[in-house]
Amino acid sequence: MTGAERIVAALRREQPDCIPTFEWFIDESVGQALTGTSDAIEIVEVLDLDGINIRADYQRQFTSDTVFRDERGAVGQLTGDCIASIRESPIRDIARHRDYRFPDPRAGHRFATVERGLDRFGDRRAIVLNLRDGWSDMRDLLGYEQCLVNLMLERELFVELLGRVVEYNLALAEVARERYGLNIVATTDDVANADGPLVSPAVYGDILAPALERVIRGYKELGFFCIKHCDGDVTPLIDGWIDAGIDCIDPVDPGAGLELGDFKQRYGDRICLKGNVDCTGNLCHGSAADVEQEVIRCVQQGGPGGYILSSSNTIHRGVKPENYRAMLNALREHGGRGG
């Protein structure tokens, strides 16, 4: 099987020839240490991963070596890690959100990285399109604090802008499906921490859940499999997400006390699971033997079918390169490929 076929089989809760793997992001320094290149697409090729996560492209105008303004109007700063931080959000007053114009989803450069991935991999590896299901775009457009304030005090305007966010993400998905034939979407919107959801169940159910249901339904109607990422304790929310149509949950967060075996028993007949080698534990501080034992546990609890092994979030700068290599080697020994 190809990597793309393995991931699709897992998303269908079928058993591929071996357990697949891919990461949301691999930090440049870790990738460079393992492969000799910092290019994300080449890192995936050299490490022989089954897929790659790719976001839409937004042009940046730098005002210094590290600070830039992008097409969305956000002022960002490079941090040395794989994701830039937002210093200034583009919508300062939600009452004027109608003045904000989303970037053109059909701009020629919008999927330049997707095109590079397809040129490099063909249909051998899955291109996973990283979009949003609402919350994270609201946070970025308004700023985290203002987003929470508007959610509580300006609900009508919040819902209106959230609807525009959903439509924009669906427009991006439509272009990616029509132009490139992509068939997997991942939404990386964190709405929980280790203590549970960031907002009350009532607020989530009234405001955020309808938007998620609408966007997941739209992705599915376009022909996408849907992977839902959220760190933290998601147990109060996961049944609603499954009902909305997600095909996979990531990462079954060990930092929130969630256990892969428990999730497999409770949800494995309805969705695929992705994760959950702890990227704050053994991948950073353990030995190669520690990582191997954790991979064996994940394979036993999550596999053999309906499971994608990965870190519990990303291969960030704090991960030891040799431990990520140990994770991949252990998966190939114990997860079916050559094992």
Tens digits of residue pLDDT in 277-300: 999 999 999 999 999 999 999 999
d(CA 260, CA 268): 10
Question: Given this model, what pLDDT does residue 158 score?
Answer: 98
Question: Given this model, what pLDDT does residue 80 score?
Answer: 83
Residue 242 Cα distances to 42, 165, 213, 222, angstroms: 34, 21, 10, 18
Residue ranges of domains in the chain: 3-334
Tokens of 87: 């210093």
Whether the per-residue pLDDT at 132 is higher than 50: the answer is yes
SS3 for 16-81 is CCCCCECCCCECHHHHHHHHCCCCHHHHHHHHCCCEEEEECCCCEEECCCCEEEECCCCEEECCCC
Question: Given this model, what pLDDT does residue 81 score?
Answer: 79
Q: What's the whole-number mean pLDDT along residues 137-165?
A: 97
d(CA 180, CA 170): 15
What does the pLDDT look like over 171-199, one tens digit per residue? 999 999 999 999 999 999 999 999 999 99
d(CA 114, CA 100): 26
Q: In this structure, are residues 315 and 27 in contact, taking their beta carbons and an 8 Å threshold?
A: yes
Residue 21: name the closest of 315, 318, 232 by CA.
Answer: 315
Q: What is the mean pLDDT of the chain?
A: 96
Residue 20: name the closest of 294, 274, 224 by CA.
Answer: 274
Q: What's the whole-number mean pLDDT along residues 219-225?
A: 98
d(CA 239, CA 151): 23
Whether the per-residue pLDDT at 242 is higher than 60: the answer is yes
What does the pLDDT look like over 88-115, one tens digit per residue? 999 999 999 999 999 999 999 999 999 9
d(CA 148, CA 199): 9
Beta strands in the chain (DSSP E): 51-55, 60-62, 67-70, 75-77, 85-88, 126-131, 184-188, 192-193, 196-197, 225-229, 248-250, 272-277, 307-311
CATH number for the domain whose boundaries are 3-334: 3.20.20.210
Q: What's the whole-number mean pLDDT along residues 143-163?
A: 97
For residue 335, name the pLDDT band (cuts at 50, 70, 90): very high
Tokens of 337: 């490929």
Whether the per-residue pLDDT at 84 is higher than 80: the answer is yes
Q: What's the whole-number mean pLDDT along residues 76-83?
A: 87
